[in-house]
Structure 1
Amino acid sequence: MAFHAHGKHRYRLWRADCNTARPHSQIAWQTPAKFASTFNPRRSLALRYAKGSAPAPVASPAQQRTTHAGNEPKTGETRGDVI
């Protein structure tokens, strides 16, 4: 069990280092902590639509129809000899 606890501890250390202290190429070699401190959420876009988070669709949804191929029996119908 001590081996498992040691592994969990090492993982937590690695994750903390990777998520806060280690620079990442995708964010211009900044640390995630530094990048997060410069991030300004754009709340105005989220609050633009009072009834929801997206504008109403342009087209209405297609109506659903249940169709049977000519060779399929309808509900409750049998064909031919039933054994």
Structure 2
Amino acid sequence: MIDDNDVIETLEELETFLILVEKGGLGLNNAAGVALATNNSNGRPFVAVLDDQHQLVLGRWVTQEVFDNGKDLVRNGPKKSH
């Protein structure tokens, strides 16, 4: 499920999103991981929240800049205090 109207445009927004996922603030059940990916049909980049079976639980579109520069943030997790 990806909301076309909700695009993450900055690394700060990406970090906030990751913190919300980590804290359970989005009400997601069985969220096990986060990854940056591209849509197979159109190549559009997004951040994906995955369950323990690697199925998409939630997705948010990201700008190309966030996709290119946010990989370490997704890989290593947010640095802000929780």
TM-score normalised by length of structure 2? 0.23
Greater percentage in strand: 2
Higher helix share: 1
